[in-house]
């Protein structure tokens, strides 16, 4: 019976401890207070909403940056293509100008050679005419000398 007297004397304390352990405490004890739970839940919801808003803001910034970088990348690709086309156009222009310049130099060189050849031909013609005149003069002198010699011979 001593066992029963222990429970009777200390039963109320054991019952209080039992309630405290099970979360049924009194007032602020045991964390089972509805007002405390509601306040924590509202704070948690506010924190979650704030965190979600921050995450959405960061996501929007990331999307904006991705869109911006995509625009920059597209612009760079467009610029690169335009530069490649201009480079090809410049190369073609330079090649065409180079060919025209070479053709002009070649034509001018050929014309200079023709002019020099014509000058030489003219000099040769003048030299041939002079030689012909010298030859004709020599022939005439010989003819005249022969005729004079025949007419001035003493008649015997």
DSSP letters spanning 75-117: HHHHHHHHHHHHHHHHHHHHHHHHHHHHHHHHHHHHHHHHHHH
76-124 pLDDT, tens digit each: 889 988 998 999 999 999 999 999 999 999 999 999 999 999 999 999 9
Of 22-26, 58-62, 79-83, 94-98, the range with the lowest mean pLDDT is: 22-26
pTM of the entire predicted model: 0.40
| Token pair for 150 | 């025949």
> pLDDT band for position 51 (50/70/90)?
confident
Question: Does residue 57 register a pLDDT over 70?
Answer: yes
> CA-CA distance, 67 to 57, in Å (whole number)?
15
Q: Tell me what pLDDT residue 4 has.
A: 54
Q: Tell me what pLDDT residue 1 has.
A: 44
R_g of the chain computed on alpha carbons: 63
3-state secondary structure of 24: coil
Question: Does residue 66 register a pLDDT over 90?
Answer: no
> CA-CA distance, 37 to 49, in Å (whole number)?
18
Contact 111, 103 (CB under 8 A): no
3-state secondary structure of 26: coil
What are the domain boundaries of the chain?
33-147
């Amino acid at each position: 019976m001593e066992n029963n007297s222990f429970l009777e004397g200390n039963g109320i304390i054991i019952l209080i401890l039992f309630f405290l352990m099970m979360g049924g405490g009194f007032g602020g004890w045991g964390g089972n207070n509805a007002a405390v739970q509601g306040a924590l839940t509202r704070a948690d919801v506010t924190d979650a909403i704030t965190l979600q808003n921050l995450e959405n803001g960061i996501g929007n910034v990331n999307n904006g940056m991705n869109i911006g970088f995509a625009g920059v990348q597209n612009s760079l690709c467009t610029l690169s293509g335009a530069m490649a086309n201009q480079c090809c156009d410049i190369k073609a222009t330079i090649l065409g100008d180079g060919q025209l310049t070479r053709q002009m130099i070649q034509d001018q060189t050929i014309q200079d050679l023709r002019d020099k050849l014509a000058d030489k031909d003219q000099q040769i013609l003048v030299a041939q005419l002079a030689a012909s005149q010298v030859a004709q003069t020599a022939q005439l002198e010989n003819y005249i000398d022969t005729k004079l010699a025949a007419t001035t011979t003493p008649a015997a």
